[in-house]
Structures are given as C-alpha cells and as structure tokens.
Chain A
Amino acid sequence: SQQGEEDPQALSIQEGENATMNCSYKTSINNLQWYRQNSGRGLVHLILIRSNEREKHSGRLRVTLDTSKKSSSLLITASRAADTASYFCATDAGSSNTGKLIFGQGTTLQVKP
C-alpha cells in the first residue's frame, strides 16, 4: 500500500503563479523527499527534508514538514511552463537503513504559458 497521499491530484495554473502540492503519510519517518517526473518516465530528485527539519528551500522550491500532522507541502514559486510535470513525495516509512522509498500517488502540475 502507498504510504503517501497527495493532493490535489491535478493542478493547473498560469505561468508566474505559485503552485502548492501537499503530501500526507501514515507512519513515522526519518525523512521525506520530493521527486519530479516528466512524461511518465524517470524521476528526478528535488529535495530531501529530515524529520527534525520544518522547512527547507532550494531555488524556487520550498518544502515544509509537519511531523505532528504527518504532512508535507511543496511550493513552487514563480512557476514556469517547464515546471509542468508530475510531483511525488516519498518517505522511508521509518525503515532502517535500506533506502527503500514509499511513494505517494503524485500531483500532476500543468503550467500554462
């Protein structure tokens, strides 16, 4: 079963607007990661946030983590058409050092030029 649930499932915005995607998970975690996928193929790692962190930034990306609510959000600021992709959160589900990831269902983002 999937660890993460993401919402919205699909998001359509205009270029320049901000996009916010949310992820909820069920079990305790060591860290949470966000990945991006273009055209249903390989995933690209975006950012990792540890369970003892609350917020992290990378360029136009801002990730928050609320372990009390078991949720995370990914904010993309000043979106561009090139940001059109699917975005997935992934957790380790608190497992020991295996690297095994449990992925959410993903949010499909469309940025209109």
Chain B
Amino acid sequence: GAGVSQSPSNKVTEKGKDVELRCDPISGHTALYWYRQSLGQGLEFLIYFQGNSAPDKSGLPSDRFSAERTGGSVSTLTIQRTQQEDSAVYLCASSRQALIEDTQYFGPGTRLTVL
C-alpha cells in the first residue's frame, strides 16, 4: 500500500513529560528502523526491529528511550521524562528484511520539540 507513515507529524511537549511516537511501516516489511536527526545533523541510528524482536538497541541514548513493535507491524517509540536535548526529528524506516542490501523506505518523520 502506501509508504511509511508516522504520527504525529509535529509534537511540542514540556520538559519532563512522556511522549509516544508512532510508525506504520509498509505492509509486508519485516524490518523497521528508528533514527534521530538533530538540527543540521546527520541521522543517528536508535534501534531496529526484525519482526517483533529488537536485536540491536545500541543506539538508544538512555534508558528514558524505549520502543516496541507488536504484530510485526506498527512500532511506537516512547521517550520518558523528555529533556530539551531530545528535540529532534525522529525518522522511521522499513525494509522487506533486515538485510544490508534491502532498501530502507523512510517516513516523513515526527518533529519533536521539548520546551
């Protein structure tokens, strides 16, 4: 069907609040990736899923960050007790499988602003 979708597109929150970001991958894609892009920076890998499991969580910046994926489809990235340095665009991507040569298709991102 359609491409990768993310919601919300923009989120403004106050420092200390929790936020949930959602990613809907392309139907049939088993691999799902979360990246973060701070202002004027490249993309920073956060975590990826193969099916419902997350073999690599190495990029999560702190234990305030967590992600889950249920049913091998939708994923949510949760940031607890948000800090100003969490402000960034959070990008989700999916691919058919978690293989090096599988093209990753990116969503439009969620722009998070922590006041």
Whether chain B is bound by chain A comes out as yes
Chain A residues within CB distance 8 Å of chain B:
2, 4, 30-31, 35, 40-45, 48, 50, 88, 90, 92, 95, 97-106
The CA-CA distance from A98 to B42 in the complex, in Å, is: 20
The CA-CA distance from A98 to B57 in the complex, in Å, is: 12
A42 partner, pick from B45, B91, B103, beta carbons under 8 A: B91
Residue B80 is within 8 A (CB to CB) of chain A in the complex: no
Closest to B9 in A: A41
Q: Contact between B98 and A43 (Cβ–Cβ < 8 Å)?
A: no
Q: How far is the CB of A44 from chain B (nearest CB, A)?
A: 7
Contact A41-B109, Cβ < 8 Å, known A97-B99, A99-B98, A100-B33: yes
Residue B72 is within 8 A (CB to CB) of chain A in the complex: no
Q: Contact between B42 and A99 (Cβ–Cβ < 8 Å)?
A: no
List the A side residues contacting B97 at CB < 8 Å. Answer: 99
Residue B63 is within 8 A (CB to CB) of chain A in the complex: no
Q: How far is the CB of A88 from chain B (nearest CB, A)?
A: 6
The CA-CA distance from A57 to B8 in the complex, in Å, is: 37
Contact A103-B89, Cβ < 8 Å, known A42-B106, A42-B107: no
The CA-CA distance from A30 to B101 in the complex, in Å, is: 9
The CA-CA distance from A97 to B104 in the complex, in Å, is: 14
Chain B 30-47 interface residues, beta-carbon cutoff 8 Å to A: 31, 33, 35, 37, 41-45
Q: Contact between A41 and B89 (Cβ–Cβ < 8 Å)?
A: yes
Q: Contact between B89 and A45 (Cβ–Cβ < 8 Å)?
A: no
List the B side residues contacting A92 at CB < 8 Å. Answer: 100
Q: How far is the CB of A86 from chain B (nearest CB, A)?
A: 9
Q: How far is the CB of A90 from chain B (nearest CB, A)?
A: 8
The CA-CA distance from A97 to B98 in the complex, in Å, is: 6
Residue B75 is within 8 A (CB to CB) of chain A in the complex: no
Q: Contact between B43 and A88 (Cβ–Cβ < 8 Å)?
A: yes
Contact A100-B101, Cβ < 8 Å, known A42-B91, A43-B91: no
